Every structure is written in structure tokens, then in C-alpha cells.
Amino acid sequence: MNPLYDYGNEVRVIRNVRNDGSFPGKDRGDLLIRRGQVGHVRNIGTFLQDQIIYTVHFVEEDLQVGCREEELQLASDPWVPSRFESREKVVTSMALSLRGEVVVQPGDKGEILKVERDDPQGVYYHVLFPGHVLAVPENALEAPEEEKELVDDFSD
């Protein structure tokens, strides 16, 4: 198990990092670092002997947070921001069809399973709707009304 990143590397977190209960002074589930933030690797360790954990210092927030390798990329690598991320709840802003049949109505709720940032057409998501998983472009999704204000606050 060789680490992908080294001491001092500048890395970007690609998912929101929330407290899993191991960060002192914060409640479980509290947002620690928002996706897209850049920090520097300060330490490299392992968890359960099969996961590499990097201690990353996020200067802007003045926090040192443990991050899994799959949560990071080099800060110099291209970054495509997205409105949503895995496990977030969303609603559709338009009808969605599968093989010509409308299977999701405007306003239907779903949950993001995966974010795809590498498509030249733009960001799209694998979204779980009751009975279907669909690839949905970002412009076809909105935050649920109760969460819309929070998402808008962080999109600036």
C-alpha cells in the first residue's frame, strides 16, 4: 500500500468532509471542509491497515483534517466544481425519460449516488429515484426547498 500523495503536497478535497465523530469540538455530521478547498499534506497514516489517511492542513480554515485518498486530488489537477455531491438529496426541475417513457416527474425527489465531472458536456450525476437510477445533467436538478438556501449560500 503506497501513498499517492507525499508530505507537503498541495491537495484539493473533492467531497465535503464531515465529522465522523473523531474530530474534537464538533458534532458528528458537522461540515469540516467544503469540497474544492485546498490544503497541504502534513502526515500520512493508515486506518485498519487497509486505508491510507492523510492529515491535511487547510490553511484558510486553519484546520487539520484526516482525509481518505479517494477524497483528494492534486491541487494542480483540473477541478470542475459541482452544485451537488454524493448522498445529497435533489429534486428534478423537468421530466426525465428512459427509452422514451417519462419515469420521473418535475419535483420528484432523488439522491445523488455519484458525481461525474469529466464529461465535456458538463457535470452530470447518477441519481437514485424510486425504481430507477438515471444519469442526469446538473441543469435538470435543484436543491429541495428546505435545503436550497444552504446550497445557494455556498455556491458563491
Residue 70: pLDDT band by 50, 70, 90 thresholds?
confident
CA distance 27 to 51: 24
Run of H or E including 44? strand 38-47
Mean pLDDT, the chain, integer: 87
| Number of domains forming the structure of the chain | 2
Q: Tell me the CATH number at 35.
A: 2.30.30
User: By residue range, what is the domain housing residue 109?
Assistant: 89-154
CA distance 61 to 36: 13
For residue 146, the model assigns a pLDDT of 62
68 and 115 housed in the same domain: no
For residue 138, the model assigns a pLDDT of 92
Q: Identify whether 84 is part of a domain.
A: no
Q: What percent of the chain has pLDDT over 90?
A: 46
Closest CA relative to residue 38, chosen from 61, 54, 20: 61
143 and 110 housed in the same domain: yes
For residue 104, the model assigns a pLDDT of 94
